[in-house]
Structure 1
Amino acid sequence: MTEWQTKIKDYLGEGTYECTLDDKVLKKAVKELNEDPKQRALQIEALREWVKRQPHLNSRTDDTFLLRFLRHAKFSQLKAQKTLDNFWTVRTVEGKGAPEWFKSMDPKDPKNEEILDLGMQIPLPGRDDQGRKVILVRSGGYDPYKHDFGAMMKTSFMMNDILLMDEENQVHGFVLLQDFTDFGLAHATNWNREIIGKAMKCWQDMYPTRNKGSNFYNTPTIFNALMEVFKLFMKEKSKKRMKFHWSSIESLHKEVPKRILPDYMGGEAGSLEELKKNWKAEVMANREELLLNGKYGVDESKRPNEDASLGGMQGSFRKLAVD
């Protein structure tokens, strides 16, 4: 073991990563994400050293947390640093994100538990034919006169925090299935340009998720205007990955296997109530992860100027290249 490797092992709770991917998924990570198992620990350490040099950034530095940003960035240190900085900035800085959506992310909070019972966002069991995790979003699955919209967003990001703990999700990515069956005018009024901009920033710029596509099912006419606003904030790659199934269950089944769909969508994965119950149990089981993420953030008063920050990023990258 080299001196550098010994240094990594000496970190408390750091430098202890053990890969859980099977050979097939690891090969995909190598091919698509530029992951090099022999260099992985050094890549993680380089990102960790950069984090510790940032005066404004109070971040987790454990291997499993940092690795998800490296995989999302295809092991580009610069991109991983930017996304990680955005991750904590959006969660904690007024005027630069949506900190109101990330406060009190305790699933045992009665308000959060009530939204979890609604099953607004449910990761479907299993994976699609490409190994991706499909997330069912029931856009009209709440009473807009009764339930706070911010709480809906909060449980969505609680879901992201938990799903990113799974290494296969980091490699294969995610697909959204947005069901608008019960979506009406009252729901649409919750969405304006500001809200949509914040939501897209969270989905595209802060979370280290590989977003592989979106399926829209049973979209009403009223949604067309909202979609045009969404497109203003969407990256071109995301626009090309949208598929509309209108009310055609047959079209949906061509994109999402019946084996992972709930009964009401002509699937074989069980009832919606069963899926709601199972997902809530998983969220509760991962409560500590959600509470842990609430302890970190950004202090904008300590953020270095842009030139200094870029210098720090480049320094880490060059150091890694030498190794």
Structure 2
Amino acid sequence: MSFALLLDPPGAEARTFAEKDLRETEENVKKGIETLRKYIEEDKTIYFCTDDDFLMIFLRPCKFYPHSAFELMKRVADFKVKHAALLHNLMPDDEKDAFTEHKIVNIFKHRDHKNRRVMLVNCGKNWDPSKVSSDQIFRMFYLIHELAMCEPETQIFGSVVIMDFDGLSMKQITGMSPSFSMKLLSFIQDAMPLRLKEIHFVKQPFLFKMVWQMFKPFVREKLKNRMFFHGSKMSSFHTHIPASHLPKNYDGELPEIDYSSTDWYPVMMSHEEKIKGIK
């Protein structure tokens, strides 16, 4: 299976799921788009594209409540302004080296058993903070989320993140600044128009407690309920994502991961116009 951005309209299963889980009926879609577009046109402080497809990116995670979608848009706009030094006109080419020369962030070729996109973050021994800073990792996350936003079925089914801390040492811990922790949490909890359904922490050593202490006070209940800590117990991990949908790296039944961001970076480059379109 090769890497590809899945831009086709939602299939039958996704449409059924969206109607049940997201209130995505013909009536709610029509009303949601019309109302959200009106909010944007009447507001003089934010500037977003008002195409139907773009508005759906914000309506889906808000279950087609247009006011909630508009509030999300405003938070996204505020976040971009606050972190303009990192995010202004950010394009894949700006982090080419981080993507192609380092095996820190990866995307599974396959979706999980609930049709969700899966992102893997190797934040232990694979990460050398002297070569890739925490700010660069954030920029990589941001670019990936911009592409994921463009996939209708990812908008519907959501995404999962696996945080692999195998080989974590003080080198990585000192690379995770408090400002990075706050920025990442603010992004996830306030300014990310994607349905992040689960975050799995695996292979974390005792040192991980130091990392978690930086994050824990700022994690709200909703996100906390979506975080799962497994350590080396892959059987615990399998209660959330079955072995049938995990690679051998996590005691799964799929082949061991033999690809990295180097392999799918060209897909990002081929969709530069889409990224420009959602800036």
Distance in structure 2 (CA, Å) of the matches to 1:130 and 1:173: 9
Contact 1:124 / 1:275 at 8 angstroms: preserved in 2?
no
1:43 offset after TM fit, Å? 1.6
**What is the SS of the residue equivalent to 2:194?**
coil
Please report how far the alpha carbon of residue 255 of structure 1 lies from its aligned counterpart in structure 2 after TM superposition: 2.8
Report the residue type matching 1:228 in the other structure.
Q
The total of aligned residue pairs comes to: 271
Q: 1:39 to 1:256 in 2, by over 3 A?
A: closer
Q: Computing the radius of gyration over CA atoms, which structure comes out larger, 1 or 2?
A: 1
Quick check: 1:125–1:260 contact (8 Å CA) kept in 2?
Answer: no
Query: Which residue of structure 2 aligns with residue 40 of structure 1?
Result: 29
Paired residue secondary structure (2:90)? coil
**2:97 equivalent to 1:114:** yes
Percent pairwise identity: 25
Structure 1 equivalent of residue 115 of structure 2:
131
Give the superposition deviation at 1:218: 0.9
Q: Deviations over 1:232-260 (max 9, x none)?
A: 22221221222211112333334334454
TM-score by length of 1: 0.77
- Give me the whole-angstrom Cα distance separating, in 1, the residues matched to 2:90 and 2:17: 33
> Which residues of 2 match residues 235-246 of structure 1 at below 5 A?
235-246=220-231
**1:67-146 equivalent positions in 2, closer than 5 A:** 67-91=56-80, 93-94=81-82, 98-109=83-94, 112-117=95-100, 118-140=102-124, 141-146=126-131
Deviation per residue, 1:42-89 (Å, 9 max, x gap): 321221121122111121222111111111111112210111111122
TM-score norm. by structure 2 comes to 0.88
Which consecutive unaligned segments of at least 5 residues does structure 2 have?
Answer: 1-6
Instruction: Pick from 33, 46, 51 the counterpart of residue 62 of structure 1.
Output: 51
- Displacement after TM superposition at 1:281 (Å): 2.4
The structure-2 alpha-carbon separation of the partners of 1:75 and 1:19, relative to structure 1 and needing over 3 Å to count, comes to farther
> SS at 1:189's partner residue?
helix
Give the superposition deviation at 1:136: 0.8
Check conservation: 2:118, 2:160, Cα contact below 8 A. yes
Contact kept, 8 Å, 1:125 with 1:269, in 2: the verdict is no
Q: How does 1:161-200 map to 2 (within 5 A)?
A: 161-200=146-185
What displacement does 1:272 show? 3.8
User: Per the alignment, do residues 241 and 39 of structure 1 end up closer, same or farther by CA in structure 2, a change over 3 Å counting?
Assistant: closer
Change (3 A) 1:43 1:201: same
| Partner SS state of residue 175, structure 2 | coil
Shift of residue 231 of structure 1?
2.1
Match of 1:61, as an amino acid? T
Q: Match of 1:179, as an amino acid? A: D
1:317 matched to which residue of 2?
none
Tell me how far apart the structure 1 counterparts of residues 67 and 153 of structure 2 sit (CA, whole Å): 23
Deviations 1:76-120 (A, max 9, x none): 1221011111112211x23xxx223313422223xx111112242
Aligned partners of 1:213, 1:250: CA distance in 2, in Å?
17
Q: Which moved more, 1:158-167 or 1:139-148?
A: 139-148
